[in-house]
Structures are given as C-alpha cells and as structure tokens.
Amino acid sequence: MLANDSDRSGQLTAGAAALELRNVSVMYPDGHAPLHEVNLCLEPGEIVALLGASGSGKSTLLRAIAGLEPLAAGEIWMRGTRIDQQPVHQRSCGMVFQDGQLFPFRSVGRNIAYGLESQRLTAAERDARVTELLELVGLSGYADRSVQTLSGGQAQRIALARSLAPRPQVLLLDEPLSALDRDLREQLAGQLREVLQATNTTALFVTHDAEEASRVADRTLRIRNRQLAPVAE
C-alpha cells in the first residue's frame, strides 16, 4: 500500500458512505431523462461495476457525480458532505476515460504529477509520489518517457496513476479498457483490481463487459429503465 493512502478515511466523517446518491435524476436539454431517481451507496474501499446498454446512462451517471453533468433532481454525498452543488475541482473525484486522455506534450512523470501541482507539496514530495505510483502500476523508470511512445495498455496504466496521484475520495472509470484487445483487457482488469485494492480506493467502474466487471468489482449493478438494479451472480 502506498504511504498515507490508508490514512485518508481518518480525515473524513467517520462511518459515512464513501459515495451516496439520493434520488438522482438527470435530464438533457431536449427533455430526454436517462436517469430517474437513482439511489446508490458505496462503502469506503468498495469497487462497484456498472453495466448497461449503449445510451443507458452509464457515462452520464459518472459525469453527474464528477460535476460535468447537472442534476435535474436529487443529491450526491461523499463522506458525509453534500457535493452536488460544489464545482468540479472541489469534488475530490478522479476520472479515467476510455482513451486515457494523457497530455501529449508532458512526460509520463509530469502527466502523473498534474493533479499534485495545485497541492502544497515540495518537488521532492511530488517526485516521490510519482515514483510510488509508477512502481504500483508496473512502470518503474518511465517518468522521463514521452507518453507518445507508450502502448495502449501502458497509456491506460499511466492514466490510472495520474488519477490516483491526488488521492481522490472516489475514482470514476469510464470503460477504461474497452479500446484494448481482448487478451490485454483481461490482463489489465486483474491489475486494475489489484491497484484499487492496494490503494484502498473507492471506485465506480463502467463497462459493457459482464466478465470484466466480475474481474474488477466487488459487486455489479446494471442500469435498466433509468434506474440501478443488482446483477445476479
């Protein structure tokens, strides 16, 4: 486990859910409402996978939690604090996208350090955090590499490390493995779970692959008819 990661919960409201959605609804300007009165509770350190058909609202739910999509109704709570009225940068959510969205003109190390640059850390502390995360995702020694030299799997691991660097309270992953070939997806799914467990990270993982969901998550939910339902094992 990385230094200090296990101490995060002590700085927050004791006993509170890591993430709680209360009757959350989202409506687009054209009147379409992909999510209606959605309720969800994630415990600290829990990994939950979210399945659903294309257009069912999986990514919309992540965007709403992150503050990238406004709510039509409902509340979002994180560790006992209501966050749905907070701006994006105050929500302590990390996000990993399907294509990683690494900064092409930053080195691997500077990509990972991006979220640390607004924190009150010395250069040595930032470098130490980058080194820890590179080791965790199996890419030690890559700090000075150009991200444009990385394979698809390596790029996604760097995107994961970048999102974990500021120690977010919740990590949101939007089909982060779907652009990779089948064998690599299976390999990285297991590695992703190991990394999330090692850092005690609470995560909501969107995928279209039920087998992948079972590899990564502690439990799996499905969006159907604009709401969440458990997936039978």
Q: Are 64 and 26 in contact (CB under 8 A)?
A: yes
pLDDT for 13 beyond 80: no
Domain ranges of the chain: 5-230
Q: What's the rounded Cα separation, in Å, for the pair 24 and 95?
A: 20
* Each residue's pLDDT tens digit, 26-78: 999 998 899 999 999 999 999 999 998 888 899 999 999 999 999 999 999 99
> By C-alpha distance, which of 86, 24, 93, 89 is closest to 60?
24
Q: What's the rounded Cα separation, in Å, for the pair 133 and 130?
A: 5
Yes or no: is domain 5-230 CATH 3.30.310.50? no
Q: What is the pLDDT of residue 229?
A: 85
Q: Which is more confidently placed, 178 or 60?
A: 60
